[in-house]
Structure 1
């Protein structure tokens, strides 16, 4: 989250629309400059401009593939972390039956409340820091209560195949929650995204300049390319914004745990 200082406060749609407009404007400026210097530029310079345009577009493709891969990897990691946490919680719920009978109901109630809090915080935008802090404090308190209960149960039944198994699953539950929280803070570095934007804008300008040198306005192809660029940028940003964009990690596994707890 600390990396996303400049752009994270703006919606994906606002960023993409702004980028699209800037590309079109720079393309028009480049076209007018190209038309102005057309008569003063020889064929060799025009050929060199075409080579520069190809180089910039090649760099753009490289940056695009690199950035998309980074955002997709982070999205996949967050999805797997959610599944791992749900599995850890599910295992802990099953192993409640291994505890001494005096502790089972309390442990089950605490775990059901824990699932509820994890589901609710999973719906919160990362920009809502106050609400997330409140939820995290409640979650931390529940973890301490569960650990305290496990210690008491271990004192009564120290066997590793009973209470020990519950303690192990509880430890995994806490670790998986910490891992998932850490992955939520990992986005594509903002400097990479800004560099990608600069490459997009530069490509729009150089394409307009090249069209101006040739004396042929290519409005439809330029608009089409700009729209495709904007859509790809939208996907990259949306994938990189957990809990905020249109593309979100599917939390159905956590909802299943919540529903099972309610029925149980």
Structure 2
């Protein structure tokens, strides 16, 4: 299995600093290599020309920018999919809770209690209620299905809408867990992205050495900018960790609504 790189297990500041150090090191090595080569070629009167090197560096940086944009697009699409899956799950649970009003007792009360426990479990799953005792969503949905089957057997064809709603809760639960746990940027993308970044930043430093300039602060600005973008992509691609996460407010609102409904 192609498990994601362990960005989610590392603090955001650590990923930033490690990426920044790698970027600065690449620039510095490229600069030193160019200066050393220029000193040698000056003695041989065959100094390397700046213009061709600049053109090649521009091409490399363009490829890096393209891959960064593509990778960020993958992370952003997955982020949007997680947000939509959350909304679909909350809507499915809310509708099922309402439709439970058409089924007979004791199934009605039991189904609504199961849905309340299910919402608590989902909040625990994303880490909002870490102190809350968790009941596996699979167990709760099995209990929900048992009630749905019993109701369907008692009233064949009379509760089709309720049965369809229960099926939808099961479906969106699987969709949400898939987009959260398995829709991640592949390791191959991260590997190619970092390798291309090292080559691009090395080439940029090399170009500065060929041009004969001192170490420009712009190189540091480029390294910092690249590191910030990489951390942002990694953060968006690590649901439940870091700074950028899908707001769980719709599920919290649903829990509050279910509590209020149970008191009526």
The question of 1:109 aligning with 2:113 is answered yes
Q: 1:95 aligns with which of 74, 99, 102?
A: 99
Which ranges in structure 1 are unaligned for 5 or more consecutive residues? Answer: 129-133
The question of 1:227 aligning with 2:231 is answered no
Q: How many residue pairs were aligned?
A: 254
Q: CA deviation at 1:50?
A: 1.3
Q: CA deviation at 1:256?
A: 0.9
Q: Secondary structure at the match of 2:238?
A: coil
Deviates more, 1:9-18 or 1:203-212: 9-18
Which ranges in structure 2 are unaligned for 5 or more consecutive residues? Answer: none
The question of 1:143 aligning with 2:141 is answered yes
The question of 1:202 aligning with 2:209 is answered no
Equivalence for 2:34: 34
Deviates more, 1:7-16 or 1:248-257: 7-16
Equivalence for 1:164: 160
Q: 1:241 aligns with which of 229, 238, 242?
A: 238
Q: Secondary structure at the match of 1:101?
A: coil
Q: Secondary structure at the match of 2:217?
A: helix
Q: Secondary structure at the match of 1:123?
A: coil
Q: CA deviation at 1:218?
A: 3.9
Residues 86/216 of structure 1: CA separation in 2 closer, same or farther (3 Å cut): same
Would the aligned equivalents of 1:19 and 1:197 in 2 still touch at CA under 8 Å?
Answer: no
Q: CA deviation at 1:75?
A: 0.7
Aligned Cα root-mean-square deviation (Å): 2.2
* Pairing 1:1-264 to 2, within 5 Å after superposition: 2-5=2-5, 7-39=7-39, 40=41, 42=46, 45-123=49-127, 135=134, 138-160=136-158, 163-184=159-180, 185-264=182-261
Distance 2:187 2:15 in 1: 13
Residues 72/82 of structure 1: CA separation in 2 closer, same or farther (3 Å cut): same
Distance 1:113 1:232 in 2: 39
User: How far does the alpha carbon of each residue in 1:121-172 deviate from its partner, in whole angstroms, 9 at most, with x for none?
Assistant: 0227xxx9xxxxx95x721111111111112222222233xx2211110000
Deviates more, 1:147-156 or 1:34-43: 34-43
TM-score by length of 1: 0.89
User: How far does the alpha carbon of each residue in 1:10-53 deviate from its partner, in whole angstroms, 9 at most, with x for none?
Assistant: 33332221111111122122212211222416466432211221
User: How far does the alpha carbon of each residue in 1:190-234 deviate from its partner, in whole angstroms, 9 at most, with x for none?
Assistant: 111121112222222111111111111243101111111111111
Q: Show structure 1 runs of 4+ deviating over 4 A.
A: 5-8, 41-44
Q: CA deviation at 1:6?
A: 5.2
